[in-house]
Amino acid sequence: MKTFTLEEITQLTGGMLTKAQDVKITNIAPPLLSDETTLALALGEEEIANLTKSKAKAALVPLGVQIDGLTTIEVERPRLAMMKLLNLFYSAPRVYKGVHPTAVVDETAKLGTNVEIGPNVVISHDAVIGDNTKIAANSYIGGNVKIGKNCFFHANVNIGDRVQVGDDVILHHGVSLGADGFSFVTENPDNIEQARKDGEIKETNTKHVIFKIPSIGSVVIGNNVEIGANTTIDRGTIENTTIGNNTKIDDLVMIGHNCKIGEGCLIVSQVGIAGSCVIGDRVVIAGQAGLADHIEIGSDTIITAKAGVTKSFPEKSIVVGIPAMPRKDFIKQLKTMKDAQEIFAKFRKYEPLLKEFEDNINHDHNS
C-alpha cells in the first residue's frame, strides 16, 4: 500500500498546508467516500460542502478554502493538483516481463531494452520497438513499423505496415493505425461528382463500377500522443496521415486518409474527420462534430459539440452549429429567429384588424 505524508503531498502539488492534525494518506477520493486515511478531493462547491459529512481528516481544496478542525492543502489549480495525485497513486497495467512465450516476434524485428511483449502479440518483419515500450495482449505490429521509447499499447491494438509512432505514446484498447483510406473512383462521373458540379443529379449509371484507390502512404504519430479506445486513423493515399506532438484523441474517433493534425490538439469522442483535412495546433474538436473533406481549421480554434463543419475556418475561431458558422453569427441567427417569433406573434394578434382593413378597401373599391 502506498503511503504519503501531508508534507510530501503538499510539496508535490505545490499547495499550502494548514495542519489541524497529523495523518498518513493511503488513498484519494471524493469527500463522501473518504475515510480517516484518505485525502478528500473537494474541488468544487458541492464537494466542499460535503466535507462536513466526510470521515476524512485532510482535504485538497481550492485556494482560500479553510475549514475548522480539518487539515487542508490549498492549491491554485485543483484539477492540475488532482492530476499529480492520481499519477502518484496510479499503478500501470502489467504486461509481461520480457517476451511472452505465446508472442510471435519475427527474427528480423528489433526490440530495445526492457521491452515487454504480452500474450499472443505478433510483431512482423523489420519492426523496431524502442526501449521500455510495453505492448499488451493480442496486439499486432505490422512490417517495417517503427515505435519509439516508453510507449504503452493496451490490448488489441492493430498497427499496419510502415506506421511510425513517436516516444511516450499511449494507445488504448482496439486502436487501429494504418488501415487503408476510404478512397474510390468510378470510370465515369458518379452521382457525387454531378451533385458537386451541378447541384443536382441528372443521369444515373446503374452499371458503374467502383474502383479501390490503394493507400501507399502511412501514418506518423508524434511524441507524447494519447489515442483512445477503438479510434481509427487511416493511412494516406500517397502522403502520410500525421498526428502532431502532444495531441490527445478520445475514444471512437475516425480520422481519414491524408489528414494533418497539429500539435497539442484535443479531439473528443465520436468526432469524424474526413480525408485530407488540415488541422492547426491547439485545436479543440468537441464530441460528435463532423468535418467534411479537404478543409482547413486554423490554430487555436474551438469546434463545439455536434458541429457540422463544411468549410474552412481561420485561426482562433469558435465554430458552432449545422452547418457550422462562427459563434457570433450563430448567436445573431438565434436572435433573428427570436425576433421573428415576436414579429409573427404580433402579426397574428393584429391579423383580424388587417383583414378588416383589406375588406373595407375592397368594398370601397367595388362600390
Give the span between the Cα atoms of 272 and 106, in whole angstroms: 35
The DSSP call for residue 99 is B
Give the span between the Cα atoms of 362 and 367, in whole angstroms: 9
DSSP for 220-271? EE-TT-EE-TT-EEEPPSSS-EEE-TT-EE-TT-EE-TT-EE-TT-EE-TT-
Are the CB atoms for 309 and 319 separated by under 8 Å?
Answer: yes
Give the span between the Cα atoms of 68 and 49, in whole angstroms: 13
1-4, long-range: CB < 8 A, 24+ apart: 1/26, 2/26, 2/88, 2/89, 4/88
Give the span between the Cα atoms of 143 and 171, in whole angstroms: 18
Give the span between the Cα atoms of 234 and 248, in whole angstroms: 17
Q: Is 173 a catalytic residue?
A: no
Please state at what angle helix 78-89 crosses helix 6-13, rounded to 10 degrees: 120
Catalytic residue among 257, 294, 363, 365: 257
CA angle (358 as vertex; 354, 360 as ends), nearest 5: 115
Task: Give the ranges where 64-111 is alpha helix by DSSP (H).
Answer: 78-89
Give the span between the Cα atoms of 303 and 289, in whole angstroms: 7
Q: Which residues are catalytic?
A: 257
